[in-house]
Amino acid sequence: MEECARCESNKGYCDYTRTYDVDGLAKEWNFTCGYDRHFNATRFAVMTISIYVAVSIFSFLGLVAIICISYKRIKKTITKRRRKSVFKRINGGLLLKQQKEVDPSLVDKTILFTSHELAKATDNFNENRILGRGGQGTVYKGMLTDGRIVAVKKSKLVDESQLEQFINEVVILSQVNHRNVVKLLGCCLETEVPLLVSEFIPNGTLSDRIHDENDEFPLSLSMRLQIATEVAQALAYLHSATSIPIYHRDIKTTNILLDDKYRAKISDFGTSRFVSMDQTHLTTLVKGTFGYLDPEYFQSSQFTEKSDVYSFGVVMVELLTGERPISLTRFGENRSLVAHFMLAMEEGHVLSIFNAMVIKEGTRNELMVLANLAMRCLNQIGKNRPTMKEVATTLEIIRTSHIPSTFQTNIGQVMHGDKISMLTYNESTSPSLTFTD
């Protein structure tokens, strides 16, 4: 019995058997200790619990999967409706309204990209793809599925006025077709802010090329003349050759891009405006960049085509001197490049502030013609400035007649501090008179 008690204490069970003698009487009791029933019960309990847990897990995972799928579908539907709403209410509404006012046929000419296309092209607008940041937005480098390299401009989400500027750029560029104006490829209106797609210009801005002191290949005078001539021709086209005249309103070296052959391309038309043929000016809030801003426009808030001429004059001086519009080294009134240039003209030593490359390659005569042309563009009275067509014609004559020279004795004297005689900048600088010398 002790062995049976020990078996039961070990969670077994006792199995009793009797042994009988020949007379049929019980001879003795035998028992065995068994565990089979206990183990079978445990195994059954474990299996039951496992099945319950497995069913619970699969049910939970199934529920999670259903929730995820439903969430994605709902999100996709909401996004699709929001894009459609944004397209119609804001982006598309403004675009169609402005395009119809200018030219109804432009509506069908505008190429529309999807947000998915442009996200894929820019690697989801990866920061490594950023080409530049400006007042109106950020520009990304992208590659379309057909292999074309493009620039994708993403507007800043600030207010509706910023949005209008961006849409305005689309409208302006939709009707512009000039080799020296950045070509618009299309836009995307599905996102919260519109996206503008234009041709990619590989050699950066004119400002970078002028002011990069580490540039191994600085711009030669011939290249500077070519760039100035191309920008002038593009502005002349905008002012007088388009179906409706266009004032750019923000001409500066950072808005002039250079392609693979260093041809100039005017960009950034966010603040540009169409002008009806019977208008002589626009009365607007003063917008522009300090250092390039027409003082007459600043005082009157009346922007004319001659305001673009003034800004171009600053670009010319920047090309000739290699200095920035606002100096970080000069003080007082001479911090302004225009003031510094005018003072040098009045004192008769303007060539001494010209860029060394310009001095090395130019003749005294052609450089003085350029200096006087810049002075005419910078005249404080707008009506006394030349038109961009006149400027472009003069520059083309200078460019085609220019013969690069590495040694000019008369300019060498100027570089040693000698003053020179010059044309007074308020006199006519007709090329026919100048080049008979």
The percent of the chain in helix, strand and coil, each rounded to the nearest 5, is 50, 15, 35
> Residues of the chain with pLDDT > 70: what percent?
69
Q: CA-CA distance, 33 to 7, in Å (whole number)?
A: 6
Neighbouring residues of 2: CB distance < 8 A, sequence distance ≥ 6: none
Neighbouring residues of 331: CB distance < 8 A, sequence distance ≥ 6: none
Q: What are phi and psi of 390, to 5 degrees?
A: -65, -40
Q: Mark 397-431 as b/e (b = at least 16 C-beta within 10 Å).
A: bbbeebeeeeebeebeebeeeeebebbebeeebeb
SS3 assignment, position 320? helix
Q: What is the pLDDT of residues 176-206, one digit of tens each?
A: 889 999 998 888 877 777 788 999 999 999 9
pTM confidence score: 0.70
pLDDT score of 283:
53
For the segment 344-372, the average pLDDT, to the nearest whole number, is 94
Q: What is the mean pLDDT of the chain?
A: 78
What's the Rg (C-alpha) of the chain?
A: 40
Q: What angle do CA 8, 12, 18 make, to 5 degrees?
A: 80
Q: At what angle do helices 388-401 and 364-377 cross, to 10 degrees?
A: 170
User: Between β-strands 149-155 and 137-143, what pairing exists: parallel, antiparallel or unpaired?
Assistant: antiparallel
Q: Mark 245-280 as b/e (b = at least 16 C-beta within 10 Å).
A: bbbbbbbbbbbbbbbeebebbbbbbbbbbbbeeeee
Burial class (CB in 10 A: 0-12, 13-18, 19+), 5: exposed
Q: What is the pLDDT of residues 209-267, one digit of tens each?
A: 999 877 778 899 999 999 999 999 999 999 987 777 888 888 999 999 999 999 999 99
pLDDT at 107 over 70: no
Task: Say if residues 394 and 431 touch (Cβ distance below 8 Å).
Answer: yes
pLDDT at 388 over 50: yes
pLDDT score of 407:
45
Known catalytic residues?
A: 250
pLDDT score of 378:
97
pLDDT at 430 over 50: no
For the segment 121-134, the average pLDDT, to the nearest whole number, is 90
pLDDT at 423 over 50: no
Q: What is the pLDDT of residues 302-354, one digit of tens each?
A: 888 999 999 999 999 999 999 999 988 877 777 899 999 999 999 999 999 99
Across 215-373, the runs of DSSP E, i.e. the strands, are: 246-247, 256-258, 264-266, 273-274, 282-283, 302-303
Band of pLDDT at residue 115, cut at 50, 70 and 90: confident
Which of 76-90, 129-143, 373-387 is modeled with the greatest confidence? 373-387
pLDDT at 28 over 50: yes
Q: CA-CA distance, 200 to 141, in Å (whole number)?
A: 7
Burial class (CB in 10 A: 0-12, 13-18, 19+), 242: middle
- Name which of 194, 91, 92, 96 is nearest 137 in CA terms: 194
Q: CA-CA distance, 399 to 309, in Å (whole number)?
A: 19
DSSP at 219: P
Longest dimension (CA), the chain: 159
Q: What are phi and psi of 87, to 5 degrees?
A: -60, -50
Task: Say if residues 180 and 239 touch (Cβ distance below 8 Å).
Answer: no
Beta bridge partners of 153: 139, 196
Q: What is the pLDDT of residues 259-307, one digit of tens each?
A: 999 999 999 877 666 565 455 555 556 666 888 999 998 888 888 899 9
Band of pLDDT at residue 1, cut at 50, 70 and 90: low
Lowest model confidence (mean pLDDT) among 68-72, 267-271, 392-396: 267-271
pLDDT score of 229:
97
pLDDT score of 140:
95
Q: What angle do CA 141, 145, 146 make, to 5 degrees?
A: 100
More confident residue, 89 or 344: 344
Lowest model confidence (mean pLDDT) among 37-51, 134-148, 214-228, 246-260: 37-51
pLDDT score of 301:
82
Task: Say if residues 387 and 377 touch (Cβ distance below 8 Å).
Answer: no
Q: What are phi and psi of 408, to 5 degrees?
A: -125, 110
**Could you please report the per-residue DSSP string of 141-198?**
EEE-TTS-EEEEEEE--S-HHHHHHHHHHHHHHHT---TTBPPEEEEE-SSSS-EEEE
Domains of the chain, earliest start first: 2-34 (no CATH), 108-199 (3.30.200.20), 206-434 (1.10.510.10)
